[in-house]
């Protein structure tokens, strides 16, 4: 592993490029994995991703238009199909074979557009994470959020891998109360093939006011509360958070009516070494018929994430001055460290492939 | 030719530094060819250009004042004449010979200030382009425009060398209509000693609404329309654009009353590798007595150029990521390519001189 | 001395970090000498300075809170004492010895907080400049000012070492009048162990209107006026400026009632190679009981300094393009040059120490 690994990301991997609804019939520009990309839907509604640079005069294709045959450059009218092949040059009968732009494998699945920045031949759709809740608006109504964050995607993943930050970063909002209760939660960490899984339990505890209100509990209720997170390298975290009244056996079965049950999607895609796109979508599993509850959940999560982001962007400034400088590990890094390690393994595997191929 | 040629510019050449009216009796700062320059008129009205850096404490001289003896630094009062020689140091009787700042050869001609950034001994005034229309307000009334553009001067020249962009960049304004008609215009390209000349003809065609209105033609008129451009390296493009009613022999003689006749000056001077000063001045040759027509022409051209600039600045971002990356040529680059080549020849000639002198 | 000396600063030296009143019971972030520093007062009121970067995840500690045991990180709750030692890690019983952040020697004295960025063992408090006027509000009432300036601290010192700039930079304000009178003042320059001292006398001269008003003089008064400055490397300039009526023996004794007597503190601390913190505090010694006069003095000095700063920031741009490029010295650099040389001596001494230790 080279010292600049912390700045890098695996290339042979699927990353969330966008929410499906973001890509319409006009070209959509987004820098992904350090490269300018233009996303668009062709006239059949299929999503495509091309390098956002015309091969003729290096103009961004996103300044052009979607036409019948593909994406037309807005400067001199060259048209490229979804595979990046030039199919028309105005005023010219033959098209030279080198007239093409890079295209990226793209898959649309479960309300997300996924992109593969590495070797196209290795792009196996079966590697894309299955997240059925996005297709299940009846039981898991949700809204899609996105933040453009000025920090490395790794700092965002770190943040999601350690919930002991809640009583500190969020000390004036959702983390208000007794820090010790949060800090002393049990924490089970399991390394997985693709990353790391952890679950924290706070049993026989007083829930936060928003939980009491959301579940319709009495004020003196005691609950068993869980925070379950799974990191799938390089950029996805799935979350299931909730609480059931103490005594109803939450530890054995969390799929019970009543209480609180929230699933949250976190898709983190590098934009540059020091910035990322953060896609998130909290699903309301406890009151699926209550649109207002879904909206309130979205609003509350957005406010909480803004507190994280304010912190992470300042952390990026300090960390970014010397990302290789050693950091001191603490006990609560139990999930964070294997998450980072899973990313490093992917990068090492690619380097190994590269070395073997030389 | 070194690979960084595309970033560079010839030094032994005249460049437009300003419109003459821009330089008055207070110092005027402008970065030209990568160097901070201060322009001013002495008490006799002669324009001068000095490096904008006092030799004493490196302060910009443009923060000072024009005085009888020359330009006085605003920090400690040193005075420099138009040749850059220090002629007064307050509180000091003798002036050391090294107390001087760089001065540039400057010529004022036909409403323009020209500057020579290279070897002063090679600055031959006869090399300055003769453009008599600027002195002829009776027959060619015009206004002076200027834009500060965040793109290489080369991209601006490229743009002026290929009018097939009109139906695309300007598709919602002057280029609206049938792209094919524009794309299929005849195009005669001639390499010249100093650059390239081209003329496009669209015969027996429907003119744009602004032409019909400008010439007072009936709505169903058919015209022979021309776009004539000449590039004189490194940074000048002269344009003669117009139309005459079909049948009156425009191809043989364009100097006929009636119709449309516009001459436009384009002076493009590098500011940095990724920005330039763009001087332009459209002259109304068809209704010289109509001040409102001159004004309307200026306004219309300004709006069109803003569309180009918006595009070019985005192109700079994409192209500037890797200016040496190959581009795919098309048929319509017939004038653009010899224009670029003319600039490269000038740079090569200077390198050759430099090499021979070593 | 290496060529990049002009960009650098001595490390084994005391620098003003803040005015004492700036540091309260919440963490205070300031970049000093190129490093992010957090300043805070502990519960006993003692000021401390730590590197503004938690050793755990590189978060700025200034986002945290002051608690009983020290400064608590706002991310995961680690607490550091004023010496930089971690004294608490939430959820963890033992604290590894490497869990510490850098702390800087700090001294609070005469309304100022001083910081020592170099070797802590060499931090001798007796080296801190004694400035009793800040403790003497009865005789020297004053207000504290601060500017964040986008220029090297060296350019700011240069500016304070040469008052012949007054009739030029301040030509429209306090320097209005006859430049020659200012330029021809007598100037006595003495090199000191720690820097340079100079005093300028303008005898039998007409004082500026603000002096006439401040002292209550008749309009046709003639005065003996002095400007005394001392530079103590690397970043302090003390100033005593004033005037007494001609004939009362000002040259022999300046401590007389009547007239004008102003002491001004200038603390200049590098933030980066091209920016600095500028602390200043003008004390009204001639009308100490007149609070309005103290306020008016502060306001007038602030306006004058803003004129200097506008100039210096533009000088930085020009000078910063090539700080090593030679400059031409003039007679009025008599104090400026030994001031620069005193800084260089300190840097050389440190390099010598470093070399000897290798």
Kindly determine whether residue C327 and residue B96, on different chains, have CB atoms separated by under 8 Å.
no
Q: Determine what percent of chain A is predicted with pLDDT higher than 70.
A: 94
Kindly determine whether residue A168 and residue C74, on different chains, have CB atoms separated by under 8 Å.
yes
Kindly determine whether residue A58 and residue B311, on different chains, have CB atoms separated by under 8 Å.
no
Q: In chain A, which residues have their Cβ closer than 8 Å to the Cβ of C63? A: 311, 314
- Residue that has been written with the tokens 């963490």 in this structure: C27
Chain B residue with Cα closest to C316:
B59
Kindly determine whether residue B75 and residue C327, on different chains, have CB atoms separated by under 8 Å.
no
Residues B134-184: pLDDT tens digits? 999 999 999 999 999 999 999 999 999 988 898 899 987 777 666 666 767
Given this model, what pLDDT does residue C290 score? 96
Interface membership of C94 toward A (CB under 8 Å): no
More confident: B165 or A352: B165
Residues C264-318: pLDDT tens digits? 999 999 999 999 999 999 999 999 999 999 999 999 999 999 999 999 999 999 9
Query: Of the ranges A7-11, A105-109, B171-175, C148-152, which one carries the lowest mean pLDDT score?
Result: B171-175
Chain C adjacent subunits, 3+ CB pairs under 8 A: A, B
Interface membership of C52 toward A (CB under 8 Å): yes
Interface membership of B29 toward C (CB under 8 Å): no
C-alpha–C-alpha distance, residues C146 and C28, integer Å? 15
Kindly determine whether residue C59 and residue A314, on different chains, have CB atoms separated by under 8 Å.
yes
Q: In chain A, which residues have their Cβ closer than 8 Å to the Cβ of B316? A: none
C-alpha–C-alpha distance, residues A164 and A184, integer Å? 9
Chain A residue with Cα closest to B186:
A91
Give me the average pLDDT of each 10-residue run along chain B (358 residues).
56 97 96 97 97 97 97 96 97 94 98 97 97 97 98 97 90 72 83 96 89 91 95 98 95 93 98 97 97 95 96 96 91 94 93 60
Kindly determine whether residue A330 and residue C89, on different chains, have CB atoms separated by under 8 Å.
yes
Q: A214 CB contacts (<8 Å, ≥6 apart)?
A: A260, A286, A287, A293, A296, A297
Question: Are residues B54 and B101 in contact, defined by beta-carbon separation less than 8 angstroms?
Answer: yes
Q: In chain B, which residues have their Cβ closer than 8 Å to the Cβ of C318? A: 36, 52-53, 58-60
C-alpha–C-alpha distance, residues B320 and B151, integer Å? 9
Q: Is the peptide bond before B303 cis (omega within 30 degrees of 0)?
A: no
Kindly determine whether residue C318 and residue B58, on different chains, have CB atoms separated by under 8 Å.
yes
Given this model, what pLDDT does residue C5 score? 42
Kindly determine whether residue B169 and residue A74, on different chains, have CB atoms separated by under 8 Å.
yes
Low-confidence ranges of chain C (pLDDT < 70): 1-7, 176-181, 183, 353-358
Kindly determine whether residue A58 and residue B327, on different chains, have CB atoms separated by under 8 Å.
yes
All CATH 2.102.10.10 domain ranges of chain A, comma separated, are 3-127
Q: In chain C, which residues have their Cβ closer than 8 Å to the Cβ of A311? A: 59, 63, 74-75
pLDDT-derived band at A6, boundaries 50, 70, 90: very low
Interface membership of A178 toward C (CB under 8 Å): no
Interface membership of C178 toward B (CB under 8 Å): no
Question: Are residues B318 and A35 in contact, defined by beta-carbon separation less than 8 angstroms?
Answer: no
Backbone angles phi, psi at C145, to 5 degrees: -115, 160
Kindly determine whether residue C318 and residue B73, on different chains, have CB atoms separated by under 8 Å.
no
Given this model, what pLDDT does residue A1 score? 33
Copy the structure tokens of residue C174.
């306090």
Kindly determine whether residue A168 and residue C89, on different chains, have CB atoms separated by under 8 Å.
no
Interface membership of C170 toward B (CB under 8 Å): no
Tell me how many helices (H) and strands (E) chain B has.
Answer: 6, 18
Q: Is the peptide bond before A88 cis (omega within 30 degrees of 0)?
A: no
Average of per-residue pLDDT across A70-91: 96
User: Alpha carbon of C329 to those of B81, C290, C322: distances in Å?
Assistant: 19, 43, 17
Q: In chain B, which residues have their Cβ closer than 8 Å to the Cβ of C163? A: none
Evaluate whether ipTM surpasses 0.95.
no
Interface membership of B67 toward C (CB under 8 Å): no
Cα B171–chain centre separation: 25
Given this model, what pLDDT does residue B235 score? 98
All CATH 3.90.380.10 domain ranges of chain C, comma separated, are 132-350
Nearest to A77 among B168, B184, B331 (CB): B168
Overall fold of domain A3-127:
Rieske Iron-sulfur Protein (2.102.10)
Q: Write the DSSP string, A145-198.
A: EEEEESS-HHHHHHHHT-GGGHHHHTTTTTT-S-HHHHHTSEEEEEE-SSEEEE
Q: Which of residues 99-118 of C touch A (CB under 8 A)?
A: 99
Chain C residue with Cα closest to B93:
C331
Nearest to B332 among A63, A64, A76 (CB): A76
What CATH number matches the domain at A135-350, 3.30.1130.10, 1.10.620.20, 3.90.380.10, 3.40.50.1000? 3.90.380.10
Kindly determine whether residue A165 and residue C63, on different chains, have CB atoms separated by under 8 Å.
no
Q: In chain C, which residues have their Cβ closer than 8 Å to the Cβ of A180? A: 90
Hey, is B182 helix, strand or coil?
Answer: helix
Kindly determine whether residue A315 and residue C60, on different chains, have CB atoms separated by under 8 Å.
yes
Cα C312–chain centre separation: 16
Chain B adjacent subunits, 3+ CB pairs under 8 A: A, C
Backbone angles phi, psi at A145, to 5 degrees: -115, 160
* Nearest CA distance, C29 vs chain A (angstrom): 12
Q: In chain C, which residues have their Cβ closer than 8 Å to the Cβ of A168? A: 64, 72-77
Kindly determine whether residue C55 and residue A158, on different chains, have CB atoms separated by under 8 Å.
no
Copy the structure tokens of residue B170.
């300007």
Predicted TM-score (pTM) of the model is: 0.92
Assign residue B183 a region (left: φ > 0; alpha: ψ between -120 and 50; beta: otherwise): alpha
Average of per-residue pLDDT across A224-245: 97
What CATH number matches the domain at B136-350, 1.10.240.10, 3.90.480.20, 3.30.2010.30, 3.90.380.10? 3.90.380.10
Interface membership of A170 toward C (CB under 8 Å): no
Query: Of the ranges A33-37, A70-74, B185-189, which one carries the lowest mean pLDDT score?
Result: B185-189
Overall fold of domain C132-350:
Naphthalene 1,2-dioxygenase Alpha Subunit; Chain A, domain 1 (3.90.380)
C-alpha–C-alpha distance, residues C16 and C19, integer Å? 8
A46-58 burial by CB neighbour count: b if 16+ within 10 A, else e? ebbbbbbbbbbbb
All CATH 3.90.380.10 domain ranges of chain B, comma separated, are 136-350
Given this model, what pLDDT does residue B171 score? 83
Q: Which of residues 323-342 of C touch B (CB under 8 A)?
A: 325, 327-332
* Nearest CA distance, C144 vs chain B (angstrom): 27
Q: B70 CB contacts (<8 Å, ≥6 apart)?
A: B42, B79, B80, B81, B82, B87
Kindly determine whether residue A168 and residue C75, on different chains, have CB atoms separated by under 8 Å.
yes
Q: Which of residues 120-149 of B touch A (CB under 8 A)?
A: none
Chain B residue with Cα closest to C165:
B76
Backbone angles phi, psi at C86, to 5 degrees: -75, 125
Residues A294-326: pLDDT tens digits? 999 999 999 999 999 999 999 999 999 998 899
Kindly determine whether residue C60 and residue A314, on different chains, have CB atoms separated by under 8 Å.
yes
Given this model, what pLDDT does residue A175 score? 74
Q: B44 CB contacts (<8 Å, ≥6 apart)?
A: none
């Amino acid at each position: 592993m080279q010292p600049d690994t912390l700045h890098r990301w695996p290339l042979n991997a699927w990353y969330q490029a966008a929410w499906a609804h973001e890509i319409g019939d006009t070209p959509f520009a987004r820098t992904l994995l350090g490269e300018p990309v233009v996303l668009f839907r062709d006239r059949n509604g299929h999503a495509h991703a091309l390098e956002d640079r015309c091969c003729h005069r290096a103009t961004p294709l996103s300044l052009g238009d979607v036409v019948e045959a593909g994406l037309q450059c807005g400067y001199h009218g060259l048209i490229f199909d979804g595979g990046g092949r030039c199919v028309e040059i105005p005023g010219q009968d033959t098209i030279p074979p080198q007239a093409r732009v890079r295209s990226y494998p793209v898959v649309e699945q479960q309300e997300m557009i996924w992109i593969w920045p590495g070797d196209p031949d290795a792009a196996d759709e079966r590697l894309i994470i299955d997240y059925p809740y996005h297709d299940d608006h009846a039981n898991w109504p949700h809204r899609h959020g996105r933040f453009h964050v000025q920090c490395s995607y790794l700092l965002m993943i770190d943040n999601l891998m350690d919930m002991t930050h809640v009583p500190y970063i969020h000390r004036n909002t959702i983390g208000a109360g007794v820090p010790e209760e949060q800090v002393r939660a049990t924490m089970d960490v399991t390394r997985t093939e693709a990353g790391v899984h952890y679950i924290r339990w706070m049993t026989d505890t007083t829930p936060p006011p928003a939980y009491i209100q959301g579940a319709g509990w009495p004020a003196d209720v005691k609950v068993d509360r869980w925070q379950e997170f799974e990191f799938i390298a390089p950029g996805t975290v799935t979350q299931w958070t909730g609480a059931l009244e103490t005594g109803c056996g939450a530890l054995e079965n969390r799929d019970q009516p009543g209480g609180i049950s929230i699933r949250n999607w976190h898709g983190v895609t590098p934009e540059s070494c020091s910035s990322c796109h953060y896609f998130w979508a909290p699903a309301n599993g406890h009151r699926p018929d209550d649109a207002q509850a879904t909206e309130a959940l979205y609003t509350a999560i957005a406010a909480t994430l803004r507190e994280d982001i304010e912190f992470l962007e300042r952390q990026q400034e300090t960390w970014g001055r010397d990302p290789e400088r050693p950091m001191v590990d603490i006990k609560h890094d139990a999930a964070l460290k294997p998450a980072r390690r899973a990313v490093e393994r992917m990068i090492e595997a690619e380097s190994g492939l590269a070395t073997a191929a030389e």
